[in-house]
């Protein structure tokens, strides 16, 4: 157990360090450092053995498949059959899936966030990395969905649709992310956005009531319904996610709406609207995440987008609203402290985000056994024992 905690901790530190240093470099050196960081995440995921709840399920899936009989999961089945052309070793499904997930996550963060070093650190420390080592079909789909955000910003709807269809071939629920193309391109004033967000939340709370959602799934997504809902272990009967994502996304939502004027100047109006819309969606989905295990799976497609948003807290000192600054200026002691911190504000926020997220990762691993990431076993240790 301790070995796994140390390995994950070193991985997080190295990934952040390589990416942080790479931002200060140019040319080949920058390229090498970036992909060294990606390689570290990839290799830790690729060589795992019996890590997570779903590992054995995917081994059996790999071993038993010999052709494509159903349209659902066709992308994942094609991937397995392609691997089987070269080898019957099931470990390769974890190698290839880890490569796809981590490369596409990195490409997305580099495109979406100036502070992508923090984004990739948060991918690990907020347990998304551990989640991706469990439900690999869903996370391949998530990585494609996040990658498709660039097509939303560029308003390239056909490329977006193709990417969503590709994601849906790995996990059918990904098709429900199609409305993101319209939602993320909304351009609303702050008050209207808040009202719209609350209204959508109330509507979704109604739609996601078990008796309504069962009906929707039974007739619109029968493959998913038949797989998960007909037995006595229905996902409706299992509890949803924790309250922590609700608290975190609430804070993000408040930040983007409280500091709107200065964030618009800093990020640009179009980019601000885009990110503010993301903050609304992840806030709504964090609430949906708490309902039951099925809605938590649906929310998982959206919640990882918070790693695009959280790094913007680095500029917190630059975007504090004027009415708060006026209060600070009236108090000499508070003003002196603020001026002292303001000069080093970016470094301070870096330290807060790094330390806070690292503490959360340790808490998740030790106290919550996040996604059964421990103990961390590898093909190397298995070979050594053999």
Residue 295 counted as domain residue = no
Helix, strand, or coil (residue 155): coil
Q: What's the number of domains the chain is made of? A: 1
CB 45 within 8 A of CB 29: no
According to DSSP, the residues that pair with 48 across neighbouring strands are 378
Residue 148 counted as domain residue = yes
| Residue 113 zone, left/alpha/beta (φ > 0; ψ -120 to 50; rest) | beta
Residue 242 counted as domain residue = no
Residue 174 counted as domain residue = yes
H/E stretch holding 341: helix 332-342
Alpha carbon 31 to its chain centroid, in Å, reads: 24
Per-residue pLDDT 10s for the chain (386 aa) are 788 899 999 999 999 999 999 999 989 999 999 999 999 999 999 999 999 888 999 999 999 888 876 777 899 999 999 999 999 999 999 999 999 999 999 999 999 999 999 999 999 999 999 999 998 999 999 999 999 999 999 999 999 999 999 999 999 889 989 999 999 998 888 899 999 999 999 988 887 776 677 666 666 666 555 555 544 455 556 677 789 999 999 999 999 999 999 999 999 999 999 999 999 999 999 999 988 777 888 899 999 999 999 999 999 988 888 888 888 777 777 777 777 777 788 899 999 999 999 999 999 998 877 788 888 988 876 655 54
- In a 13 Å sphere around the CA of 259, the CA atoms on its Cβ side amount to 23
C-alpha span between 161 and 155 (Å, rounded): 11
Residue 40 counted as domain residue = yes
* pTM tops 0.75: yes
Range of the domain at 60: 1-185
Residue 247 counted as domain residue = no
Backbone angles phi, psi at 48, to 5 degrees: -65, 150
Helix, strand, or coil (residue 48): strand
C-alpha distances (whole Å) from 269 to each of 78, 272, 344 are 42, 5, 26
Q: Which segments of the chain are extended strands (E)?
A: none
Residue 368 counted as domain residue = no
216: CB partners within 8 A, 6+ apart = 207
Residue 338 counted as domain residue = no
């Amino acid at each position: 157990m301790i070995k796994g905690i140390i390995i994950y901790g070193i991985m997080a530190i190295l990934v952040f360090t390589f990416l942080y240093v790479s931002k200060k470099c140019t040319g080949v050196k920058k390229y090498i450092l970036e992909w060294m960081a990606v390689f570290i995440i990839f290799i830790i995921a690729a060589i795992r053995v019996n890590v997570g709840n779903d590992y054995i399920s995917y081994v059996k899936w790999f071993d038993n498949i010999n052709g494509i009989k159903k349209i659902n999961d066709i992308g994942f089945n094609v991937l397995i059959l392609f691997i089987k052309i070269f080898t019957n070793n099931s470990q390769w499904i974890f190698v290839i899936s880890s490569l796809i997930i981590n490369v596409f996550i990195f490409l997305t963060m580099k495109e979406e966030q100036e502070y992508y070093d923090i984004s990739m650190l948060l991918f690990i420390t907020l347990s998304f990395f551990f989640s991706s080592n469990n439900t690999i079909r869903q996370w391949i789909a998530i990585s494609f969905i996040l990658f498709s955000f660039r097509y939303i910003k560029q308003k390239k709807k056909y490329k977006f649709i193709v990417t969503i269809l590709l994601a849906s071939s790995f996990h059918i629920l990904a098709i429900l992310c199609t409305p993101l193309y319209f939602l993320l391109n909304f351009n609303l004033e702050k008050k209207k956005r808040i009202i719209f967000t609350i209204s959508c939340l109330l509507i979704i709370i109604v739609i996601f009531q078990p008796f309504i959602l069962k009906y929707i799934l039974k007739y619109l997504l029968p493959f998913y319904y038949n797989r998960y809902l007909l037995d006595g272990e229905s996902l409706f009967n299992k509890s949803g996610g924790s309250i922590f994502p609700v608290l975190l996304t609430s804070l993000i939502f408040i930040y983007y709406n409280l500091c709107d004027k200065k964030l618009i100047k800093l990020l640009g109006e179009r980019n601000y609207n885009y990110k503010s819309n993301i903050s609304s969606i992840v806030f709504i989905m964090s609430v949906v995440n708490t309902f039951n295990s099925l809605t938590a799976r649906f929310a998982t497609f959206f919640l990882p987008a918070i790693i695009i948003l959280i790094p913007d807290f680095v500029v917190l000192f630059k975007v504090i609203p004027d009415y708060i600054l006026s209060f600070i200026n009236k108090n000499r002691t508070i003003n002196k402290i603020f001026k002292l911190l303001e000069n080093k504000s970016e470094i301070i926020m870096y330290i807060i985000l790094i330390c806070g997220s690292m503490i959360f990762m340790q808490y998740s691993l030790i106290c919550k056994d996040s996604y059964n990431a421990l103990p961390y076993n590898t093909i190397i240790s298995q070979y050594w024992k053999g």
